Amino acid sequence: MSNEADKAPSLLSVLGSVLASAFGVQSNRKREEDFTHGKPSQYIIIGLAMTVLFVLLIWGVVSLVMHLAGV
């Protein structure tokens, strides 16, 4: 008898949790759910991927601005 609360979070749910925690708006209920039912490896991998994407985004914006400025 599987309860919905015992189910592991989906990839989309993990992504949402990582984004919410990055912005500091994660609810206490959701945080507790993540720590209770989530696998740490999922959060670490998604967190690292989001960090790399963020750095690449910043690098791309700076490169575009530098190119447009003629530097």
Domain coordinates of the chain in residue numbers?
A: 6-69
Q: How much is the pLDDT for 30?
A: 87
Task: Convert the pLDDT of each residue in 10-31 to its tens digit.
Answer: 889 999 999 998 888 988 898 8
Dihedral sign of CA atoms 16, 17, 22, 24 in order: positive
The pTM for the full model equals 0.75
Q: Which of 13, 17, 36 is nearest to 26 (CA)?
A: 17
| Percent helix, percent strand, percent coil in the chain, to nearest 5 | 80, 0, 20
Dihedral sign of CA atoms 51, 52, 53, 55 in order: positive
